[in-house]
Amino acid sequence: MPSLSDFVHTQFLLRIPQPSVSFAGKTVIVTGGNGGLGKQIVTYFVRLGAAKVILACRSQARGDKAKAEIESITKCRLDVIDVMEVDIESPSSISTFVDEVNELDRVDVFVNNAGMRTAKHQLVYGTERTLGVNMIGTFLLALQIIPLMKSTAKRYKTTPVMTFVASALYDVAKYPENPGDDIFAWYAEESHMNHMNQYNLSKLLQIYGAIKLCQILDPENTEDPNPIVINSVDPSFCKTGLSGELSGVAKGAFKVFEAIAANSAEEGSRLVVQAAAAGRETHGLYLRAGKVQKYAPIALDEERTTHVWETLSKRLEKVQPGIMRNIE
């Protein structure tokens, strides 16, 4: 768990410089790009010269509104930002989105930013909704984008980067002692849900998934001089809009804490863009406070990592047969 001094440093003392690296000629995709952290990430990529930025979100109307606001702020050309609809909760929406993305010439950066948290027990992908969206839906989309990123690397002799927007809260997650053969099925039972833990747990499982994915797509184990790079980044505790699914006391408490301690979404976005601009030295690693940070011990449990990955793989194959071949 991050210490109090570490939290104070990250939230009140740390000053991350505005990113200045050029994304000229690159195509970037940001999920959850219409508000909060995602909108600020999109804004930075536009300012840094990306040739095309795909603002991916659930609502075309909200996406169009965000696009217009970013264009007004950055004075960019009107053909730089494209809005594409995708609902991470819906396999059919993801499939339609992937078809649209595959019409692009290239994908240089993919930021897995879309996520959610809720205090209600609802089922998505046959599991509790927070886990379903932040884990199963996120990887269902990510694994279908990887082939185009691989072809981008080969065709343009470049190194595409896929970044997962993580959270330091993974370190305080409580992993169930005996989740049985399928941790996702375990959390389909409402009695097993702890709404104070679900978001943290979803981010821990996401870390497990990212670690395993990076092992499979390890640049050191390929002769390809331009493999894709995958990393995870904690944008710090910032105003992301994730409290929207909360209600009552939980939402009130979150809002008070956010007002006291949260960084702005713009400040958090700097860290994400920094990670997206990083090289293969960050593959498989976790960035926090502007630098690579060692994983907490809970993230290094090989037995849990294997269980989560194998269970995730089976569920992804059930939803999208053949998807695991994308990373062979």
Domains of the chain and any CATH numbers: 20-327 (3.40.50.720)
Find out whether 232 and 207 touch, Cβ atoms under 8 Å.
yes
Residue 191: HSE in the Cβ half-sphere, 13 Å Cα cutoff: 1
Whole-angstrom Cα distance, residue 211 to residue 246?
29
Q: How far apart are CA 159 and CA 96, in angstroms?
A: 26
Q: What does pTM read for this prediction?
A: 0.92
Predicted pLDDT of residue 6: 62
Q: Give the C-alpha separation, 249 to 203, whole Å.
A: 23
Half-sphere exposure of 134 (CA within 13 A, CB side): 24
For residues 56-86, b (16+ Cβ closer than 10 Å) or e, as one string? bbbeeebbeebbeebbeebebeeebbbbbbb
CA dist 237 and 258 (Å) reads 8
Beta carbons within 8 Å of 96's beta carbon, 6+ residues apart: 85, 86
Give the other-Cβ count within 10 Å of 256's Cβ: 10
Which residues have C-beta within 8 Å of that of residue 104, sequence separation ≥ 6?
A: 27, 52, 54, 148
Rounded CA separation 317/140 (Å): 9
Q: How far apart are CA 166 and CA 231, in angstroms?
A: 10
Backbone φ and ψ for 219, nearest 5 degrees, come out as: -60, -25
Query: Looking at the DSSP assignment, which residues form a beta bridge with residue 286?
Result: 232, 293
pLDDT in tens, the chain (328 residues): 565 556 555 555 566 889 999 999 999 999 999 999 999 999 999 999 999 999 999 999 999 999 999 999 999 999 999 999 999 999 999 999 999 999 999 999 999 999 999 989 999 999 999 999 999 999 999 999 999 999 999 999 999 999 999 999 999 999 999 999 999 999 999 999 998 999 999 999 999 999 999 999 987 777 777 789 999 999 988 767 655 555 565 666 656 656 556 668 999 999 999 999 999 999 999 999 889 999 999 999 999 999 999 999 999 999 999 999 999 8
Between strands 286-288 and 229-234, the pairing is parallel
**CA–CA separation, 173 vs 299, rounded Å?**
10
Q: What angle do CA 201, 206, 208 make, to 5 degrees?
A: 95
Q: What count of other Cβ atoms lies within 10 Å of the Cβ of residue 173?
A: 21
Supply the DSSP symbol for 136: I
